[in-house]
Amino acid sequence: MAKQKTLEESIQKFIVDRVREHWDDFQRAYLLSNMGYAIKREFAESAVAMPKGLKDFLRQWPIVAEVSYPGIAEKVGLVPLGVELPEDIRVLFKPKDVRDEKTPVYEDAFWDAFINPITKNDTYRLI
């Protein structure tokens, strides 16, 4: 029984940490399905602590908030407790634009150089 309690506590901490990290990085919901896979990879005996599944585990231990995409019951995400949810929940499920100001953008001539011969006069620069 003590071993199961320790496993439950470890899984709870794992969930809270992952959801908080994801929220801090992207301001998006962590998909429940992704969390299930991550738990199975991290905890080989997770089925012992969650015999009825992850959703039931989170109802039993409300350590994060569950949000559902409007009109798609299967699309469920997790956000940290206490965060202010937007009026339009759908924004929590949109992929974050991974391109930022640090991402270089090259002219077409740069990319063409991979398939066309380069001449001595060709120049390439960031745009």
Question: What domains can you pick out in the chain, each with its CATH number?
Answer: 2-93 (3.30.420)
The three state secondary structure string of 40-61 is: HHHCCCHHHHCCCCHHHHHHHC
23 or 122, higher pLDDT: 23
CA distance 15 to 30: 10
State if pTM tops 0.85: no
Residue 34, pLDDT > 80, answer yes
| DSSP character string of 47-100 | HHH-TT-HHHHHHHS--EEEEE-TT-TT-EEEEETTPPPPSSGGGGGSPP----
Q: Calculate Rg over the CA atoms of the chain.
A: 22
Give the highest mean pLDDT range of 49-63, 93-107, 108-122. Answer: 49-63
Of the pLDDT bands very low, low, confident and very high (cuts 50, 70, 90), residue 89 is: very high
Query: What is the mean pLDDT of the segment spanning 68-94?
Result: 93
Give the pLDDT confidence of 3-25 residue by residue, as tens digits: 667 899 999 999 999 999 999 99
